[in-house]
Amino acid sequence: MKPRKTTKVDPLELLEAVRDLTPLDKTVTIMEVCGTHTMAIGKSGMRQLLPPNLKLVSGPGCPVCVTHEAEVETFLHLAQHENVILATFGDLMRVPGQSSSLAQARAQGARVIVVYSTLEALKLARLYPDREVVFLGVGFETTAPTVAMSIMQASKERIANYSVYSMHKLVPPAIEALLSQGEVKIDGFLCPGHVSTIIGTKPYEPAAQKYNKPCVITGFDIEDILQALIMLLTQIKERRCEVQNQYVRGVNSQGNMSALGVLQEVFEVADAFWRGFGTIYASGLKLRERYQEYDALSRFEVPHFDFGKSVNACSCGDILKGKMIPPECRLYKRACTPAKPRGPCMVSSEGACAAYYRFEEFGG
């Protein structure tokens, strides 16, 4: 199916087409991998309008949500270093660790500053030459290049008091891990538009070819998502398993070569810890040897935190794998709300639990 230009399409017609293509005799489960898609779907109220046997489940594509418990403890520990200013995106502030959060640490005197970009973090390093500025690098292939740029810039300007705690993760290995574990029945994937802008379409091919799952890369307008659902349902109907690109206005097959070049320069692929998954082989980014002086982990002494399992009854891990939907978690809406979150999926603005809480409650 040829992707149509989205701006002129009536979303109600697309919705009708999705209904028509949904098979009558079986349940079809589609995972939206990306947190931004989860929010867009929630905001539109789409779930109420889809046939009951077409299920959309949220995946591991919310960077704050997949941040491992051990990583949370590590950055909370970094916040306690006397000379450190932690620069972080706002979403991490309220992620609960075992006994604290960055917001609580800040209220108790730790220097934690919310920034909106790595440029701001670098500016802090210039502004406070006597302090150590540590940027908390969370995010996928989309944000990692800007972090890489900041390290290159620091190296160029010889800014010695800037470092990064890299918790960056890669999306395609997580999709593969999900499929190889075989715990969840998924019939197809809505793949993230922004991440694909950087990495292109190829990295999803194992999911399509090895695991026979249709994949469609899509944008963030409701028309984009509906159109991608049509493409997925068409593939399922025709028994095809391909990587298709609905988001042609943002994504080409080879990705953004200059952003990939910057990533390659600063980072190398490493195993990473994911909440709910544990260690996934070659699914994260760590600083290369030549940039080691900008690696917060080699600059500061941090105890080794290791959690095999989640420390509270929170089901974020299963929610991130699509095994559970938020209302099935026993803490949801009772012990865990956006005002008093117990897990990161309720903290992050892109988290599945926050999206459900905000958008899927009708009549509350």
* Residue 46 or 320 with smaller CB distance to other proteins: 46
* Residue 122 or 262 with smaller CB distance to other proteins: 122
Decide: 57 and 103 in contact? Cβ < 8 Å. no
Quote the longest CA-to-CA distance of the chain: 67
* Residue 114 or 184 with smaller CB distance to other proteins: 114
User: In sequence order, which residues have a C-beta less than 8 Å from that of residue 32 and are 6 or more positions away?
Assistant: 38, 41, 56, 57, 58, 59, 61, 189, 190, 225
Q: Does 142 bind other proteins (CB under 8 A)?
A: no
The binder of other proteins chosen from 19, 20, 83, 119 (CB under 8 A): 119
d(CA 284, CA 1): 34
- Reference 19, options 39, 49, 55; nearest CA is 49
Q: Does 242 bind other proteins (CB under 8 A)?
A: no
Contact set for other proteins, span 325-364 (CB under 8 A): 337-339, 349-350, 354, 357-364
Q: Does 278 bind other proteins (CB under 8 A)?
A: no
What are the tokens at 85?
């200013």
Q: How many residues bind other proteins (CB under 8 A)?
A: 41
Q: Does 308 bind other proteins (CB under 8 A)?
A: no
* Residue 135 or 277 with smaller CB distance to other proteins: 135
Least separation in angstroms between residue 46's CB and other proteins is: 6
CA 339 → CA 36, 107, 162, 217, 317, distances in Å? 21, 17, 33, 33, 20
- Give the binding range for other proteins (CB under 8 A) out of 77-85, 214-222, 243-251, 319-327: 214-222
Q: Does 153 bind other proteins (CB under 8 A)?
A: no
- Reference 164, options 87, 103, 102; nearest CA is 87
* Residue 71 or 350 with smaller CB distance to other proteins: 350
Amino acid at 29: T
- Reference 340, options 19, 114, 60, 103; nearest CA is 103
* Residue 123 or 288 with smaller CB distance to other proteins: 123
d(CA 206, CA 77): 38
State phi, psi for 9 to the nearest 5 degrees. Answer: -95, 140
Decide: 227 and 9 in contact? Cβ < 8 Å. yes
Decide: 102 and 86 in contact? Cβ < 8 Å. yes
* Residue 265 or 360 with smaller CB distance to other proteins: 360
Q: Does 120 bind other proteins (CB under 8 A)?
A: yes
Least separation in angstroms between residue 19's CB and other proteins is: 12
Least separation in angstroms between residue 158's CB and other proteins is: 21
Q: Does 23 bind other proteins (CB under 8 A)?
A: no
Q: Does 290 bind other proteins (CB under 8 A)?
A: no
Least separation in angstroms between residue 210's CB and other proteins is: 32
Q: Identify the bridge partners of residue 325 per DSSP, sorted by sequence position.
A: none
* CA-based end-to-end distance of the chain: 40
* Residue 312 or 349 with smaller CB distance to other proteins: 349
Contact set for other proteins, span 72-111 (CB under 8 A): 90, 93-94
Decide: 11 and 41 in contact? Cβ < 8 Å. no
Least separation in angstroms between residue 309's CB and other proteins is: 28
- Reference 145, options 199, 78, 192, 220; nearest CA is 199
Contact set for other proteins, span 26-65 (CB under 8 A): 36, 39, 42-49
Q: Does 300 bind other proteins (CB under 8 A)?
A: no
The binder of other proteins chosen from 99, 116, 239, 289 (CB under 8 A): 116
Q: Does 17 bind other proteins (CB under 8 A)?
A: no
- Reference 347, options 88, 31, 166, 27; nearest CA is 88
Interface positions with other proteins (CB under 8 A): 11-12, 15, 36, 39, 42-49, 90, 93-94, 114-120, 123, 220-222, 337-339, 349-350, 354, 357-364
